[in-house]
Structure 1
Amino acid sequence: MASATVSPQGIAPKMSSEEIPFNPKVRQHRTFSDWVVDIMIVVLTVAILFVVIYPIWFIIMASFSDPSAVAKGQVSVWPVGFNLKGYSMVFTNEGVWTGYLNTIIYSLGGTALNVVVTIPAAFALSRREFKPRRVLLFLFTFTMFFAGGIIPNYILFRQLHMLDTVWVFILPTAVNVFNLIIARSFFETSIPEELHEASELDGLNYYGYFFRIVIPLSSAIIAVITLYYFVQHWNDYFTGLVYMRNWDIQPLQMWLQRILLGTQAATNSSGSMDLGQMQLFADQIKYGIILISTLPLLIIYPFIQKYFNKGVMIGAVKG
């Protein structure tokens, strides 16, 4: 910004609007159109917030309400009555706790393996001096459009003796190509090449540069990739549906589906229950299952939201 010079008479010349420094404490003059736009933005934001929050609020209220009121559609904003029978029917099923433990193991173990494999691979593919990187990236990308299918995968996993094992949940999804491309874009656009040159002058090799410089500067993208992988493992039910027959190592989603279908709810509950009662509590069971399956993600997300937002924007394409 150009500075104004004082004339010989001691009077400063008039500065243009571009030269006037911005002072946030000075209120700018707002026109009628500015107020209209602000009101429209507020209304739109409140409407979007309501559309997002109300379904979650309704599920919470309905899960604690009287089942007959839920079946009649009397629950809208506040709970009608108070009943925990739906939660009781879900939590008294021992399979829920088995599924919770299995899903936690698959999610934590699988996410750790995913991050350990994806981040170094993305860093290697981001280095211009790595000559085969374009060929390898093409091979990775090719798998996004053309896959073997369920039957070839089933035959492959059977030959590898991975069916009905923990490894079928972890090893086949060790690398997600979409996450790999996001991390590669981050390393190419957000890590200055001057840092690598400076590290070479200090005697660091690629391993030292990666672990001592790149990793500390990549906390945002690592948090994003970790969240993506964790959600993917937590919501994975297809693997258990196709490749698993042993219910002792099934994930939580398969057990919740089994309860929702009513195959085990009656036999594992504290008391006997006929078909009419099961139908009466069907909605409460459904809402309770939704909260049980999403609660861990709702607890984790607020703690990494700032990293999530920053990582997505940093890894975006810049024009």
Structure 2
Amino acid sequence: MGIDRALFAKGKVPEYLICPCCKDVLENPYEICDEAHLVCGECALELYPDPEEDNKEEEEEEEAEPPKKRARTLAETAPGLEQEFASQVHAGERDESGTPAPADGAERDGEEEEENGGGTGSEGDGEDDELHDNGDQEGAEGREGDGKGSSVCPVCQEPLLAETEVQKARAIRRIIQELTVNCAYLSFGCLWTGILREQPEHDKTCEYRPLPCVHADQGCGFSGPKDTHAKHEERDCLFATVSCPRKNCERFSGTRNDLKAYEDECDAFECETPGCPTMTTKRMMPIHQLACTEYTKLYKKAMRNIKKLKNDLEKAKNPSSSSSRPVAEITLDDNEDW
């Protein structure tokens, strides 16, 4: 793979600096054909397959295929029957033609000669000539292909150079190293720009470079700039050490992941009714709140009396009000129940 085009600060990169295989900017470019077309170093490895790997794949395929069974001949299944059958056939032919029967030895020699493809006929000579011609043609093709790769250039479709002839395009690499690029962590907020050759040194010290969580060895997969780690640990990290969020609970101290299981046994859940001091477990709280209804009524009645008392005090401070009464006369309603 090459260098991501989005990394370059000044827009479009010249087409001759683009790898025809991965479509990114050339990285460690190599010349692969007589026309000096270029590809990335990694892409060049894909164009030249490893012969050891090819041989290994062929061996695996051969092992996967079951061995083919060879058909057994008549001589193998019944040796005597084949000779007897041949004698009967020849005897029938002699009866029809009236020729005398050949000696057994001559008959067997003729059969062996036929089986071995003997004879000097023109048909046999033609087959031999054809085999020689094919062999010569294959040899010529092999000689012509010597020194070339098994594939072609992805640009001009010409044969690839032999691996021993492939050269690094050092001049092109120097040109690319002088191009202006953005910081690799631009998406995190870094606005640095510089030449590609200086980028690795900047990346080592960039304050926006993503760092793994301090609890990565425990299983946290978070990664981000340094200034995001405090927020992550405070709110999200399941492996950060936390205490129980209920202020009256002092029993728990563990990870945020363990806290979820502890919530079922924590007995520091407070009643939601204002003024009720009851604390119990999360499971028991609904039961308590049903019993807390009467207390709630008393609480609301007390709040109404307090509000009325405040109103009476305000009226006493303002004598011009016709509805005001002396402070000494301000009392709670006799019917109000505490």
TM bracket, shorter-chain basis: under 0.3
The structure where helix makes up a greater share of residues is 1
The structure in which a higher percent of residues are strand is 2
**TM-score normalised over the length of structure 2:** 0.18
TM-score by length of 1: 0.19
Higher alpha-carbon Rg? 2
